[in-house]
Each structure stands twice: as C-alpha cells, then as structure tokens.
Amino acid sequence: MDFRAELNNFKPINLEELEQAEGKIPDNIRNSIFLYNKAIESLRSGSEDIAMIGLRKAISMNPNFNEANNLLGLCYSYVGETQKAAEMFDKVSKAESSGVLAMSYMRKLGMVEAKTQQEDKQSAKQSVRVERQAKRSREQQNPDSNRFGSGKYLRKEDKSKKQKLFSILKIVLAFAAGVALYAIIQPATGEPENIPVQPDTSAIEAAVDKVKTEYESKLAEMENKIAIMQEDKDNALAQADYFKTSLKLYEVESLASAKKYQDAADILLIMKTVEFRDEEKGKFDELYGKVMPLAAKAAYDKGYKLYNSRNYPDSLKSFERVQIYDPEYVRMDAVLYYMGRCNQFADNSRTAVALFQKLIDNYPRSGYVKNAKVRLNELTKIP
C-alpha cells in the first residue's frame, strides 16, 4: 500500500467554516480537530512520530473521531505495527461511519482474512462448548443411559439427540457467520458521522504568542550582548594593531641609524595613514621630516649612478622614488631632466616631452633648461 498516496485521502478540517455551519462546539472536539490538522501537516513533512503523538492525543479527547482513528491506523501500518493498525481499523469498522475506508485498509493489509479466521475459530470453540453442555445435560437427565447403550430404544434416542445437537451447531455457526457478515456490511450502511468543528485556538494562540514574546526578548538581549562583545573585540584588535604599528617607529629609527634611508622611508609611507596619538604622533612626525629628504637624496644618487652606467630602466625607477619620498627635493630640476632622458632612450617620446616641458615651466632658471630645449627640438622636429 502506498502510504503517501493514501495520505492524500485525508484533508484538514476547516474549523471556521464548520463552526459557522454548526454553531459553537465543545472544546474537546475543537482541540482534537486542531491536533488532527497538525498531524496531517507533520505527515506531509515526513514527521510520522510527531503525527502519531498528536493523533493519539486527539483520540483521547474525542474517541469517536473516526478520521483520526483511520489516520492513526494508517500510521501504525506504515511503521510496521500491524496489530495496532488492525485494532484501529476494527474500531472504526464497528462505528457508524468511516467504516468503508477502514475495511478498505484492512483488505489492503490482509487484515480481513485474519479477522474472519479468528471469528471462525471462536465460533468453533463455542460449538464445542455447546456440544459438551448438551452432553452433560443428557447425562444428568438419564443417569442410567450409559449402562444400556446396546438397546434399540437407546440407539434411537441417541440418534435423535445427535440430530438435535447437529441442528443447534448449525444455528450457532449460522449466527457466527451472520455476526461476521454484519461487521462487514453494517459500516457501509451506517448513518454518516457529524464532522467535528475545529477548536477554539485562542488559548493556544495566546500561549504561543507568550512563548514567542519571551524568546524574542531573550534573543534581543543575547544579540545585544553579542554586539557589545563584538565591539569590545574590535576595539581590542584595533588597540593591538595600533601598538604593533607603533613598534614599527623604533624599527624605522634603527634603519635610519644604519643609513638605510630608503627602507626606513618605505615603512613611513605605509604608516602615513595611521592616526597616531600623543607621543607616537610626535615621534612619527620627527622621523618623517628627517628620513624622507635623506631617502630622496639616496634615491637620486642611485638613479644618477645607474644613468651613467646606461641602465636607464632602473635609473628611471630610482628617480621616480625621489618624487615619492620628497616632492620638494632641492634637485628636482635634475630629476625631471634625467627622467626625460630615460624615457627618450626607451622611445617613450610623449612622456619625455612632457617631462622636459615641466622642467622648463617650473624651473626656468635651472641649468638643465638649455639641454631640455635641445631635447625637445630633437623629439618634436619634423623629419
């Protein structure tokens, strides 16, 4: 039997519509229907154990709730508890309605044959008991009959008694068969059961709302605590980063003492975005003002040396570092000229022209202006 297919035969009961049609109904009926509807939802979501708990509760509130009995029987069958399933279906089959559906499940699960065999055994036992009772009755009425069992009259009397006993046995068997047939036919012809109305859920909803409010309050309180803890954590991490960065100032100081000005300047450039406070700010400003001009000079000296050795790409990189370390470097006119020459050698004519023109415009009295104009003529003349 397809459990999921059979489950579609069970539909939730609309409490509001039923109450409008029938008027106010008892609370136990309303609550049992509410649990029945919840059980259907649980079954459709795959929670058979929860559904069975709800159905047993619904039946305890309303024992004649045949839809719930049938559905619980179907659940018992699905989980392998066949005996309990048979008891639920048998209970419904003896009621005034819903018996047809119960008998259908019993046939699909092979329970009708088992029930009939059981009733036949009970009928046979009853027949044996009747026969024994009749025999005891005969012996009490004719105490000497066993002594003259060979007489003709006694043989006729025994034969007559056997015929009567056989007639009684047939009546008993017919009665038992009638009882079994009635158990099968009666549910189909019984009066339809009134569909119970859904319960008043106001009390349940109020309880749910109360619990929901409590949990929402606890959740808000917990979220607030988490936010405070997160803020404390962020502050602690920020403070740790600040102290870690502050220690770099001593590293810069050590590099500057070793005349590694460019290495020290690179660290200071990274720390330029840090908002130092109090003593750390004073130390940073002091180091920055001291180290950056020295780093610019070191970069210029290195670039000039590379230029004279005709390593123009690396020379250009060093002169560019001069601009980064100290935009107001005292020999910036020379820096612009040599950068223009490096670009000219690299065939970057447009960049070279821009650099020579910047030198002429910004430093008109520079000794490099004359040479810059010569280079401009070389770069801009028409071939």
Residue 55 CB neighbours (<10 A): 30
Mean pLDDT of the chain: 80
Q: What is the pLDDT of residue 310?
A: 96
Q: What is the pLDDT of residue 267?
A: 95
> Does 230 or 136 have the greater pLDDT score?
230
Residue % of the chain over a pLDDT of 70: 72
**Tens of pLDDT along 241-280?**
888 888 889 999 999 999 999 999 999 999 988 999 989 9
Q: Which residue has the tokens 């649990």?
A: 35
pLDDT category of residue 152 using cuts at 50, 70 and 90: very low
User: What is the average pLDDT across 8-24?
Assistant: 84
Q: What is the pLDDT of residue 239?
A: 79
pLDDT category of residue 207 using cuts at 50, 70 and 90: confident
pTM of the model: 0.41
User: What is the average pLDDT across 326-343?
Assistant: 96
Taking alpha carbons only, the member of 102, 83, 75, 107 closest to residue 91 is 102
> Does 170 or 235 have the greater pLDDT score?
235
Extract the tokens encoding 134.
């009749």
Which residues, at least 6 apart from 51, have a Cβ–Cβ distance to it below 8 Å?
Answer: 38, 39, 40, 42, 43, 71, 75
pLDDT category of residue 346 using cuts at 50, 70 and 90: very high
User: What is the average pLDDT across 312-322?
Assistant: 96
Asked whether the predicted pLDDT for residue 225 surpasses 70, the reply is yes
Asked whether the predicted pLDDT for residue 300 surpasses 70, the reply is yes
Taking alpha carbons only, the member of 77, 103, 254 closest to residue 188 is 103
Asked whether the predicted pLDDT for residue 172 surpasses 70, the reply is no
Query: What's the distance, Cα to Cα, between the start and end of the chain in Å?
Result: 98
Asked whether the predicted pLDDT for residue 101 surpasses 70, the reply is no
Residue 145 CB neighbours (<10 A): 15
Asked whether the predicted pLDDT for residue 123 surpasses 60, the reply is no
Asked whether the predicted pLDDT for residue 373 surpasses 90, the reply is yes
Which residues, at least 6 apart from 225, have a Cβ–Cβ distance to it below 8 Å?
Answer: none
Q: What is the pLDDT of residue 6?
A: 82
Which residues, at least 6 apart from 271, have a Cβ–Cβ distance to it below 8 Å?
Answer: 245, 248, 249, 284
Q: What is the pLDDT of residue 151?
A: 41
pLDDT category of residue 198 using cuts at 50, 70 and 90: low
Domains contained in the chain, CATH given: 3-189 (1.25.40.10)
Asked whether the predicted pLDDT for residue 150 surpasses 50, the reply is no
Separation CA 333–CA 130 (nearest Å):
135
Q: What is the pLDDT of residue 2?
A: 78
